[in-house]
Chain A
Amino acid sequence: KAGVTQTPRYLIKTRGQQVTLSCSPISGHRSVSWYQQTPGQGLQFLFEYFSETQRNKGNFPGRFSGRQFSNSRSEMNVSTLELGDSALYLCASSSSGTGTGETQYFGPGTRLLVL
């Protein structure tokens, strides 16, 4: 099976712009989670989608949003970018989600730089 893919891999934006990141899960996986990784805060959970429904959300402002499509592909959007949004954004997929104790399979990440 193909692994989790994320596009784009690298992105440079300026403050105030918005950005959309895409994640394609492993075929058959219905759960997609998003994480932000920064040197200061480490890995932080953004949200999780399962069958097109947001099932859990982390402590991020409303500028961070996401959605999941019927084919399980997911997008996350960050509006009004701030310098502090510069980070590696990782998505992970699994069949049923972390609450069931399943392994999460991570993509390579999208590295976002906000200037």
Chain B
Amino acid sequence: SQQGEEDPQALSIQEGENATMNCSYKTSINNLQWYRQNSGRGLVHLILIRSNEREKHSGRLRVTLDTSKKSSSLLITASRAADTASYFCATVGGSNYKLTFGKGTLLTVNP
């Protein structure tokens, strides 16, 4: 079963624009992670935010977490064509040892 739900399902922007993707989840979490996947390949970890954190930055990425609303957002600034990929949020909750993924947002950055 999916824990996270990304919104929108697909996003198309021009190079240089910012891209914002949202993720909502249902149960309490220990941490939330964002991953990128290029065209059916393996996932690349982008950023991890813990439940006691509200915001994190990594290069052109900014992630926020609102545990009261059970939601997170990923902002990619000054997007590039190479950012074209699917982006997934994944949650870790309780004492389990699994990532529960959302269905992802397909981001297309047009040159």
Contact surface of A with B, Cβ cutoff 8 Å: 4, 31, 33, 35, 42-45, 48, 50, 55-56, 58-59, 88, 90, 92, 97-99, 101, 103-109, 111
Contact surface of B with A, Cβ cutoff 8 Å: 1-2, 30-31, 33, 35, 40-45, 48, 50, 88, 90, 92, 95-104
**Could you tell me the dominant secondary structure of chain A's interface residues?**
strand
Residues of chain B lying within 8 A (CB to CB) of residue A97: 97
A-B interface contact total, Cβ < 8 Å: 71
CB pair B97 A105 closer than 8 Å:
no
- A56 (CB) vs chain B CBs: closest residue: B97
Residues of chain A lying within 8 A (CB to CB) of residue B1: 59
CB pair A107 B30 closer than 8 Å:
no
CB pair B102 A107 closer than 8 Å:
no
CB pair A111 B40 closer than 8 Å:
yes
**CA–CA, A104 to B96, complex, Å?**
14
CB pair B42 A55 closer than 8 Å:
no
Residues of chain A lying within 8 A (CB to CB) of residue B42: 4, 90, 106-109
